[in-house]
Structure 1
């Protein structure tokens, strides 16, 4: 990882409002040495959510606070991208909801952008179909225009990213319960996908395919890494671990063509739980991966 090419922005965002752990990840990664790996650390956006009430019409937890957090992150990211034009952003969550602030900033700063979405789950529910009401169950749906208007219009334009400019990578498709299987059915037909079994079989080919699919998309492509794409045997400090995921080498191989792509505009990392990592060894392992994987 070339430190001079990156700036760090923390997003201590935990969408359930219960402070269960993800909000502490930016601090934990800094304690493990992340600030020294980048050229600039611009601090944290004001994304803390501390309400647990579920909006009755939409089913979304802390809807008004979520909108506020998204705007706060979008503002800080857009300013940093303007002030540091020669550096790519590394945005560290928090949970996957940070994308709801990232893509409005990309729309403002770049126009249109594609998305490589590396995640163990499709995150394609809405507030009423989600058991939890957490925006981390639904951020990919929101980004591609499915969900409550208060969230789908965060960027002012609709959708924030088109389904055809998105690649879902590493999601589980085997041994699913009925609800998870039903979520897969919700995915739009033009949203490209490479599931976990396919990545495991040949991660290098999978990464090259994902890169090729978005080779001409917009003004660039954002890379999102939800750490629950990893199998719990490789990393278990996440909120919703699920078997059948990738190991570290497979994740490195599938990400390599994306991280090296000239289309890459920035990276986000989400869903790390420091409270489930009492020794700090797993945080160190994540930073080792980032140091090797990012250009």
Structure 2
């Protein structure tokens, strides 16, 4: 049974402009209004409530060096979301987290009740692999979440309560970045498998899922993190960092259908309703997720 957890966090994102607040915190309710929750409920899903974050602060002018934006609030939210995931797994359900920004993947790594030895499938239009060893611009965990998930960030983010790394690099897979991603070669050399968007487009979502699935699975399942900017901005411009060369809706749906059955849970992130005034992109995303994730966790 699916259990939907709303996690309306925008804490890991840069402000869209100085003093402004990212709109991703509105995504869970926008997707509810678009019918996603009711459609999943028809398939047997239950609503497992909301884990609210603290207030977003544009702290660029006051944040000390060596810290990410909204760091204390982000860590607090990750720990509380991990506790909620633990309760979902303990009850025998499969969590589907509707975010929010992609720093939420940290909570999945912190959870104690998930199967041990779990892998990570990171579906994103960017590698999100910026980290202090390679960049002096670290600040936003939503652009650094893959690095943090495998232990390549400041300990305050990547080793919360001494529990990092949250996922084994050898059992971590990335799917969906563009071929010109600046960290692509480094990611290929660091994690278990990479399938850029061009590969998914060339071979199809089902085949791409089959190629990388076993790397992350290895009999214990994996967490499935899906950043909506994996879609091409022609069909999904309502994201923080749209880049051309992304997937079409049918390609992402097929990819998710290939990945969902062996996933121990999933998180959906970076949809921004502020960039979707008439709700058309929320409706499209609801179609993709309802079609792609209906079998989430069904083969575990």
Task: Give me the TM-score of the superposition, normalised by structure 1.
Answer: 0.88
Are 2:115 and 1:113 equivalent residues in the alignment? Answer: no
Aligned Cα root-mean-square deviation (Å) = 1.9
Distance 1:290 1:137 in 2: 23
Distance 2:187 2:101 in 1: 21
Deviation at 1:160, TM superposition (A): 0.5
Once the two structures are overlaid, the 10-residue window that deviates more, 40-49 or 125-134, is: 125-134
Distance 2:99 2:237 in 1: 17
**Distance verdict in 2 for CA 1:31–1:155, change over 3 Å:** farther
Deviations 1:223-282 (A, max 9, x none): 11111000011111101000011101111222222123xx32111110101111111111
**Distance verdict in 2 for CA 1:31–1:130, change over 3 Å:** farther
Distance 2:103 2:234 in 1: 25
**Distance verdict in 2 for CA 1:269–1:130, change over 3 Å:** farther
**Distance verdict in 2 for CA 1:97–1:66, change over 3 Å:** same
How many residues get paired? 279
Q: Is the 8 A contact 1:47 1:73 kept in 2?
A: no
Which residue in the other structure is 2:298 paired with?
none
Once the two structures are overlaid, the 10-residue window that deviates more, 122-131 or 186-195, is: 122-131
Which residue in the other structure is 2:27 paired with?
25
Distance 1:27 1:76 in 2: 19
Distance 1:100 1:45 in 2: 14
Which residue in the other structure is 2:196 paired with?
195
**Distance verdict in 2 for CA 1:216–1:155, change over 3 Å:** farther
Give structure 1 stretches of 5+ with no counterpart.
Answer: 175-179
3-state SS, counterpart of residue 8 of structure 1? strand
Distance 1:211 1:288 in 2: 23
Distance 1:281 1:155 in 2: 41
Task: Give me the TM-score of the superposition, normalised by structure 2.
Answer: 0.87
Residues 220-231 of structure 1 mapped to structure 2, 5 A cutoff: 220-231=221-232
Are 2:285 and 1:279 equivalent residues in the alignment? Answer: no
Which residue in the other structure is 1:177 paired with?
none
Q: Is the 8 A contact 1:113 1:222 kept in 2?
A: yes
Deviation at 1:188, TM superposition (A): 6.0
Deviations 1:5-43 (A, max 9, x none): 211001111123742200110111111222222321122
Deviation at 1:155, TM superposition (A): 6.2
Are 2:102 and 1:96 equivalent residues in the alignment? Answer: yes
Are 2:56 and 1:50 equivalent residues in the alignment? Answer: yes
3-state SS, counterpart of residue 287 of structure 1? helix
3-state SS, counterpart of residue 121 of structure 2? strand
Q: Is the 8 A contact 2:221 2:264 kept in 1?
A: yes
Distance 1:19 1:101 in 2: 22
Are 2:147 and 1:148 equivalent residues in the alignment? Answer: no
Deviations 1:31-72 (A, max 9, x none): 122222232112210224422225423141121111111111
3-state SS, counterpart of residue 244 of structure 2? coil
Runs of 4+ aligned structure 1 residues displaced above 3 Å come to none
3-state SS, counterpart of residue 5 of structure 2? strand
Distance 1:210 1:227 in 2: 19
Which residue in the other structure is 1:66 paired with?
74
Deviation at 1:108, TM superposition (A): 4.0
